[in-house]
Amino acid sequence: MKIIIVGCGKVGRTLAESLNEEGHDIVVVDTNAALVEGISSSLDIMGVVGNGASYSVQMEAGVEEADLLLAVTTSDELNLLCCLIAKKAGNCHTIARVRNPIYNTEIGFIREELGLSMIINPEQAAADEIARLLRFPSAIKADTFAKGRVELLRVQLPENCVLHNRKVMEIVSLFLCDVLVCAVERGEEVIIPNGHFVLKGGDKISFIASPKKAAEFFKKILVEYHQIDSAMIVGGSTIARYLAEKLLSTGFEVKIVERDRKRCEELSEQLPEAVIIHGDATEQEVLLEEGIESVKSFVALTNFDEENIMLSLFAGDHSKAKRVTKVNRISFEDVIEKLNLGALVSPKHITANSILQYVRAMENASGNNVETLYRIVGGKAEALAFKIKEQSEVVGVPFERLSLKKNLLICCIIRKNKIITPRGKDMILVGDQVIVVTTNQGLNDIQDIMA
């Protein structure tokens, strides 16, 4: 597919890298010549310098032949204008990044009236993910399928965990937990386990379950599980506002620490139920005075990765709080993960995953296509949900008779709102939603699971 990306910031670059890896024909557009040159030369793709809302610039980028235009500049209004012009000039699919909370209640109207394929709000998506993480204190990643009916959770097993030296197949019989371990990280290695795989303390496991079954699993394997009802958020960003609104609606006590006085005043008006503190959280005394030692969750959301990392390390030394750290530059992910920062959240990667999911669905709109896609375990594996719309060679055949690709696991079937953990005698039927985890890249159709 030919895809035009307008905006070469952090999100634009991440999208260009991800979509280029998938083999698409990418063109990037930005008014900043240095950014365009940097991305186009490093990825060997075409770059156009100019205003993406300009008809002539879009024509130069090839909008007439484009399948999709992504507008991800820092301006919501510019993004919407880019998409509107692209619809008229090239009649392609369009996706706009719209971040301002003022548009939040009008997203449906904007999308329909402007003919947009999708509107993505990275800050809202990040806030949603953080809120999910706070429901499971031990989880370091949380993704959802089937409108929240199924969750994919990542957790590090303690060294003395009851699962140490246990086979994956023993989990159901020993602990009566209907969960499925679908990926294991051990050191640098990522394993898609079979039933005979032996777990070890220190492993990072990703498992799939319903929210209720996931909570039972955490309790039974003695991984820390307690109710979180308070949060200290450092940084009064848009993500902080979205997150605070979500947490307050569920009964949380929320405290936001922000160094900019004007922003504090804005947040006080927008979030009357929250406690807004004007102060510099990089000064230890501020955090100690505001009760970091007793808070149950700590979320670092400043605009600087280095500050967020430092703040989370400090919180880890002075409290037992569940920590969530926003990190946008994941170039040193292996180093960052060793720092024990709690859960890491990257808005630009959440955005890239959502758009990549849409692109996969576009590629195979008539078949058994991808409805949901997540890059997991540091991008080394994918979790995909396929909607089974028609007959194929994998439909109606027991799993024990299917020849599947290596490093691939069918994790869950959702059939008429019933969640099925698949066994050898189970089979895929038309109408099912099927969740697959694999280290193989580029699966677009359910038939791609076959060896």
Q: How many CA atoms lie within 13 A of 211 on its CB side?
A: 13
pLDDT in tens, 92-114: 999 999 988 888 888 888 888 88
* Average pLDDT of the residues in 220-234: 79
Give one DSSP letter per residue of 55-71, joined into a string: HHHHHHHTTTT-SEEEE
Give 290's Cβ-side CA count (13 Å radius).
26
Q: Do the domains spanning 2-120 and 230-345 agree at the CATH topology level?
A: yes
Ordered by start, the domain boundaries in the chain are 2-120, 126-220, 230-345, 367-449
From the number of C-beta atoms within 10 Å of its C-beta (0-12, 13-18, 19+), residue 19 rates as: buried
Q: pLDDT averaged over the chain?
A: 89
Res. 34: pLDDT tops 60: yes
- What's the token pair of residue 236? 């009064």
As a whole number of angstroms, the distance between CA 21 and CA 28 comes to 15
**DSSP output for 182-202:** EEEEETTEEE---TTPBP-TT
Q: Is 239 helix (H, G, I), strand (E, B) or coil?
A: helix
For residue 384, give the nearest of 368, 401, 403 by alpha carbon: 368
Q: Sorting pLDDT into bands at 50, 70 and 90, what band is 222? A: low
The CATH class given to the 230-345 domain equals: alpha beta
Domain 367-449 has CATH 3.30.310.80: no
Architecture in CATH of 126-220: 2-Layer Sandwich (3.30)
Fold of 2-120: Rossmann fold (3.40.50)
Kindly report, residue by residue over 419-432, the tens digit of the pLDDT: 888 888 899 999 99
pLDDT higher than threshold 70 for residue 69? yes
